[in-house]
């Protein structure tokens, strides 16, 4: 009920299904300064627990001696809401990935994960577009080399959609430096050098939207309903 009130502004969130994988427990949060005593339903999202930033620790009694302070989870509903929101990510197989015959392998990783492909094309990127795409890196010493590399041969442009696709795609892709990327990730398995790291993935939902608009023309994005949808999401 509380979650419904907090998330009421989001038309994408379905409150009844929002915490379907959560276990619930009631926690009392006392905040001595403001004399607030809030009874909150506390949701533990098992799936996201390891490095979760969904839940923050706050001392339940801020003025109590340190050793007597109890750790209490404070639920951050705006972050959880984004787990239900359908994001868009621009994924691109870079020229080395195309030349090395890795297109199918890379597409396959996103397909198998369960994301929805809405745009796909082989494309020779003009210099101006590469510069616009990487404009945040303009001041970097490697920028000219980066532009030469991205324009050195065809790339495969993709638009992918799904709940949490931006963050998940970044995990599937792995660290920028392939030697630091975990085995099992695309870069960890298929590349060795930062300047030849085979694939791009948007770093935020906002950039996902921006990059898809940059690389795809109107009419190139296809809205469709995958038959497997009901087997992916409850
Ligand atoms: P990512 O592609 O992981 O989002 P980024 O946005 O920081 O990484 O950089 C974009 C690309 O620029 C990256 O995929 C490869 C290149 N790049 C980044 N840092 C570099 C460096 N130190 N030397 C050479 N190329 C670099
Ligand atoms: Mg980036």
Q: Which two structure tokens, joined as six digits, stand for 47?
A: 């799936």
3-state secondary structure of 99: helix
Measured in Å, residue 156 CA sits from the centre of ligand 2 at 16
Q: How far apart are CA 125 and CA 152, in angstroms?
A: 8
Q: Which amino acid residue places its CA nearest to atom 5 of ligand 1?
A: 176
State which ligand 1 atom lies nearest to the alpha carbon of 200.
2
Please give the pLDDT value at position 83: 58
In tens, the pLDDT along 55-77 reads 333 333 445 455 555 544 454 44
Please give the pLDDT value at position 85: 85
State which ligand 1 atom lies nearest to the alpha carbon of 176.
3
Measured in Å, residue 207 CA sits from the centre of ligand 1 at 15
Please give the pLDDT value at position 65: 55
| The Cα angle at residue 113 between residues 109 and 114, in degrees rounded to 5 | 125
Look up the CATH number of domain 84-219: 3.30.70.141
The residue ranges of the chain whose pLDDT is under 70 are: 1-83
Measured in Å, residue 202 CA sits from the centre of ligand 2 at 6
For every residue of 50-76, DSSP letters joined together read TT--SEEEEESSTTS-GGGPPEEEEE-
User: Which of 30, 75, 70, 34 is CA-nearest to residue 56?
Assistant: 75
Q: Which pTM value belongs to this model? A: 0.70
Burial of 39 (0-12, 13-18, 19+ CB in 10 A): exposed
In tens, the pLDDT along 144-155 reads 999 999 999 999
């Amino acid at each position: 009920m509380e979650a419904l009130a907090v998330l009421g502004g989001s038309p994408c969130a379905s409150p009844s299904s929002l915490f379907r994988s959560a276990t619930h427990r009631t926690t009392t949060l006392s905040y001595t300064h403001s004399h607030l005593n809030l009874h909150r339903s506390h949701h533990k999202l098992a799936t996201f627990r390891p490095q979760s930033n969904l839940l923050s620790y706050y001392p339940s009694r801020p003025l109590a001696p340190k050793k007597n302070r109890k750790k209490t989870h404070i639920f951050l509903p705006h972050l959880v809401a984004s787990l239900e929101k359908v994001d868009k990510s621009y994924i691109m197989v870079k020229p080395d990935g195309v030349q090395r015959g890795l297109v199918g392998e890379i597409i396959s990783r996103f397909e198998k994960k369960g994301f929805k492909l809405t745009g796909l094309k082989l494309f020779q990127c003009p210099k101006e577009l590469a510069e616009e795409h990487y404009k945040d890196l303009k001041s970097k010493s490697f920028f000219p080399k980066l532009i030469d590399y991205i324009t050195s041969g065809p790339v495969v442009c993709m638009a992918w959609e799904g709940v949490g696709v931006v963050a998940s795609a970044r995990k599937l892709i792995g660290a920028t430096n392939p030697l630091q990327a975990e085995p099992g990730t695309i870069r960890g398995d298929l590349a060795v050098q930062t300047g030849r790291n085979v694939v791009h993935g948007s770093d935020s939902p906002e950039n996902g939207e921006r990059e898809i608009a940059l690389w795809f023309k109107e009419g190139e994005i296809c809205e469709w309903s995958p038959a497997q949808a009901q087997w992916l999401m409850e």
